[in-house]
Amino acid sequence: MSTTTAGISSEQVKLLRDRTGAGMMDCKKALTEAGGDIEKAVDILRKKGAASAEKRADRATNQGVVEAYIHAGGRIGSIVEVNCETDFVAKTDDFRGLSRDIAMQIAAMNPLYVQREDVPQDVLDRELEIYRTQGRNEKKPENIVERVAAGKLEKFFQDVCLLEQTFIKDSGKTIRDLVVEISAKTGEKVTIRRFNRFHLGENG
């Protein structure tokens, strides 16, 4: 077994780097401070904010969980893939709790897209045309028609885009707020990749 400094092996440093994504020198210092205890070193790095610093900069969110939720009675269910940067964060209670809440949100609120950027242009065009026609039918001036249509489109995004929906457990937060909070708490980028919702008897 090769060694580095203070009796800390290179294998320990590599293991800690794989767990946290922190730099080599930060890992050596944390292991030395923790007396070689990997778990204590992880805590030291997280408290210092060094964990995941490198991963946030240059690595994709290719870890995470696939979470499912079945509503009481078994008639409605959902499945969602929530990603983070490391397996370490994916196993935390906070990340798992977020994933469960998102799966529940999908079952309850039936979003169609993850974010507004996912809405096809033809859908946006159709919605805007409907809103403009409604305004013109009400004899509103054209500048008012456009303003009202833009406002209704924002409401449309809040209804159909998961990240912009109001959280069912806390009306003061959106799903995006929950993701940002967990990202800040873990020090990792957290994303919702994809989801599906099932309602008994409905066509796919």
Q: What is the pLDDT of residues 77-121, one digit of tens each?
A: 999 999 999 999 999 999 999 999 999 999 999 999 999 999 999
- CATH number assigned to the domain comprising residue 84: 3.30.479.20
Same structural domain, 107 and 81? yes
Do 91 and 137 lie in a common domain? no
| Same domain, yes or no: 37 and 26 | yes
**Residue 1: pLDDT over 60:** no
**pLDDT tens column, 39-89:** 898 888 877 765 554 545 455 678 999 999 998 789 999 999 999 999 999
Give residue 25's domain range: 10-51
Residue 30 · residue 16 · CB < 8 Å: yes
Q: What contacts 60, CB < 8 A, 6 or more positions away?
A: 85
Span 3-24, mean pLDDT?
A: 74
Task: Please indicate, yes or no, whether residues 41 and 102 belong to a single structural domain of this protein.
Answer: no
Edge-to-edge strand order for the sheet containing 63-70? 63-70, 76-84, 191-199
* Mean pLDDT computed over every residue of the chain: 87
Question: Does residue 2 have a pLDDT over 50?
Answer: no
Give domain status of residue 127, yes or no: yes
Instruction: Report yes or no on 1 lying in a domain.
Output: no
Is residue 2 in some structural domain?
no
User: Which of the 8 DSSP states describes residue 138?
Assistant: T
Most confident of 25-29, 41-45, 140-144, 170-174: 170-174
Residue 4 has pLDDT above 80, yes or no: no
Q: Are residues 150 and 134 in the same domain?
A: yes
Q: How far apart are CA 165 and CA 130, in angstroms?
A: 22
Q: Which residue has the higher pLDDT, 140 or 171?
A: 171
For the entire predicted model, the pTM comes to 0.68
**pLDDT of residue 13 exceeding 90:** no
Between 174 and 56, residue with greater pLDDT: 174
Q: Please check whether residues 15 and 104 belong to one and the same domain.
A: no
Say if residues 28 and 5 touch (Cβ distance below 8 Å).
Answer: yes
pLDDT tens-place string over residues 183-192: 888 888 899 9
Number of domains the chain contains: 3
pLDDT over 70 percentage in the chain = 90
Please indicate, yes or no, whether residues 145 and 111 belong to a single structural domain of this protein: no
pLDDT over 50 at 143, yes or no = yes
The DSSP output letter for 116 is G
